[in-house]
Amino acid sequence: MDLSNIIWAFVWFTALGVVLGAVLALASKIFAVKVDPRVEAIVDALPAANCGGCGYTGCAALAEAIARGDAAVNACTAGGVETAKAIADIMGLPVVAPNRMRAQVMCSGTHGKAKLKYKYDGPADCNAAMRLAGGDKLCPNGCIGHGTCVAACKFNAIEIKDDIAVVDYNRCTGCGVCVQSCPKKVIKLIPYESDHWVSCNSLDNGKTTRSYCDVGCIACRLCEKACEYDAIHVKDNLAEIDYSKCTSCGKCVLKCPRKIILHSRDPRAKTA
Amino acid sequence: MTEILLIMFTAVLVENFVFTRFLGICPFLGVSEKPDTALGMGFAVVFVMTLASAATNLIYNLILVPFELKYLKTIAFILVIASLVQLIEMFLRKYVPALYGALGIYLPLITTNCAVLGAALLSVESDYNFIKSVAFGFSAAVGFTLAIVIFAGVRERVAVANPPRSFEGIPIALVTAGLIAMAFSGFSSINLGI
């Protein structure tokens, strides 16, 4: 190899680098796409969990929708008040804090309490279990407990404890992705501050419910009678709390013969 | 013409980039969890690899060969491919937003994909002319797409299966990839005489 070889390599590669660099620099000017600067600012303000709770495909999609004016500044449920404030600042709109909600699994049918039809030994996924006669539990509406919601949760807020899913509400942001993922529709969103909930989803009458579950709502209406605020009603064989009226006095909790109106301090409502 | 068809058939099945040459394994494992994202990645690779084969062939024959710089082909090709991908990305973003939306997130992944560089280097080693190397790049990318889509389909099933704990995730995916590669090795007995 003589010297000219090295010089040619040097010349050509310098030229190649310069030309390609110039082309790219030129292209970035010619092909520049105007992006709303607010979009980037909103993306930074969002939690970047891409949970999909807002109904958009991810945080970036929501940011674009907010910047266009198609979505409200408080559309991100997962981010809560702080995020809504930050985005309202960027958009120059008044702050409207979202109602903070949290997910709650409305089932108490832990191992041994809810009776089984058969022993399930398939993939650890509720949708797969649903296909085999609607899951292994006799209750048609109870939690199957194979963790489809655990996998869906972007915030690691759900775990399976004793065959049912339990939400850790210190971590729950109320995005509602688990509610959509649950094939049994046993997870519901309730106001974040609410202390009580009826931990059952059975719509069968008392006798039927009693036949397959030790802790199902039997629609006895004792809670309805105990409530002084007209806040709990039995509808479709299932007691339901009206959170606009509930004062968290706890009288229904004491009356419930099945002990399934839970309080947030109840050990059954806590993750391990 | 027959020769081009033979090159294409060989690149897709007999010497599949993923299963026989073991090129492009990183995106093959990384973007194969769902068939539709795998397909998106596959299309992006087809797009880039066809153009990159054309560009690198021109650079090789017009600059590197006349000036006896063949020994620097790897560096030159990396440079050209990386700039080409950047250029394509900017172009698509401006003029074909729909295609950008579909391929956008995969394009940067391909910049340093060894399959693209491999296609360029292999076609140079085989002394392909311009048309042959474009055909080779295109069909190698089709082979890659075929491989990644098949693998994604299998992986989707494996995801809900119950493998032994130590095999969960990537280990079982690698075992699966090995089994598919063995199936593809059946094609290698086809001797096309090239």
Q: Which residues pair with A166 in a beta bridge?
A: A159
Please calculate the CA angle B109-B115-B119 and round it to the nearest 5 degrees: 135
Q: Do B87 and A12 touch (CB under 8 A)?
A: no
CA distance to partner chain B, nearest, from residue A124 (Å): 7
For strand A196-198 and strand A261-263, is the pairing parallel, antiparallel, or unpaired? antiparallel
CB A16 to CB B79 under 8 A?
A: yes
Query: pLDDT confidence of B144, banded at 50, 70, 90?
Result: very high
Q: pLDDT higher for B26 or B191?
A: B26
Tokens 């075929």, residue? B146
Reported as a single tens digit per residue, the pLDDT across A18-71 is 999 999 999 888 888 777 788 888 888 888 888 877 878 788 888 888 888 888
Q: Is the pLDDT of residue A73 over 70?
A: yes
Give the CATH fold of the A101-263 domain: Alpha-Beta Plaits (3.30.70)
Whole-angstrom Cα distance, residue A53 to residue A81? 15
Which candidate in A4, A13, A19, A26 is best for mutational testing of the B interface (most B CBs within 10 A)? Answer: A13
Which region holds residue B24: left if phi is over 0, alpha if psi is between -120 and 50, else beta? left
How many Å apart are CA B92 and CA B88, to the nearest integer? 6
In this predicted structure, what is the pLDDT of residue B160? 79
Give the closest of B59, B72, B90 to A28, CB-based: B90
Q: How far is B85 from chain A (nearest CA, A)?
A: 10
CB B102 within 8 A of CB B41: no
Residue A267 has pLDDT above 80, yes or no: no
Domain chopping of chain A, boundaries: 37-91, 101-263
Is A22's Cβ below 8 Å from some Cβ in B? no
Q: pLDDT tens digit string along B46-86?
A: 988 999 999 999 999 998 888 888 888 898 999 889 898 88
Residue A137 Rama label (left phi>0; alpha psi -120 to 50; beta) = beta
pTM of the model: 0.63
C-alpha to C-alpha distance for B159 and B166, rounded to whole angstroms: 14
Over 60: is that where the pLDDT of A1 sits?
no
Residue contact B72–A13, C-beta within 8 A:
yes
- pLDDT for residue B193 is more than 60: no
Q: Two tokens at A225? A: 């009678």
Residue pLDDT, tens place only, B167-183:
888 899 999 999 999 98
Q: Which residues pair with A189 in a beta bridge?
A: A103
pLDDT tens string A139-157:
999 999 998 999 888 888 9
Q: Write the residue in B75, B83, B160 that is nearest to A20 by C-beta.
A: B83
Say if A29 is an interface residue toward chain B (CB within 8 Å): no
Chain A residue closest in CA terms to B160: A123
ipTM above 0.95, yes or no: no
Burial class (CB in 10 A: 0-12, 13-18, 19+), B111: middle
Q: How far is CA B186 from CA B16, B151, B168, in A?
A: 11, 17, 28
Q: What radius of gyration, in Å, describes the C-alpha atoms of chain B? A: 17
Q: CATH topology of A37-91 equal to that of A101-263? A: no
User: Rounded to an integer, what distance in angstroms lies between the CA atom of residue B30 and that of residue B102?
Assistant: 17
- Partners of residue A5 in chain B, C-beta under 8 Å: 68
Look over chain A and give the mean of its residue pLDDT values, rounded to a whole number. Answer: 87
- Measured at the CA of B53, the angle between CA B52 and CA B54, to 5 degrees, comes to 90
CB–CB contact B160 A125 (8 Å): yes
Retrieve residue B59's tokens. Answer: 């650079």
Domain at A37-91, CATH class: mainly alpha
Rounded to an integer, what is the distance from CA B23 to the centroid of its chain? Answer: 7
Interface contact A13, partner B, CB < 8 A: yes
Q: Give the per-residue SS3 of chain A.
A: CCHHHHHHHHHHHHHHHHHHHHHHHHHHHHCCCCCCHHHHHHHHHCCCCCCCCCCCCCHHHHHHHHHHCCCCCCCCCCCHHHHHHHHHHHHCCCCCCCCCEEEEECCCCCECCECECCCCCCCCCHHHHHHCCCCCECCCCCCCCCCHHHHHCCCCCEEEECCEEEECCCCCCCCCHHHHHCCCCCEEEEECCCCEEECCCCCCCHHHHHHHECCCCCCCCHHHHHCCCCCEEEECCEEEECCCCCCCCCHHHHHCCCCCEEECCCHHHCCC
Contacts of A151 in chain B (CB under 8 A): none
* pLDDT tens digit sequence for A214-248: 999 999 999 999 999 989 999 889 999 998 888 88
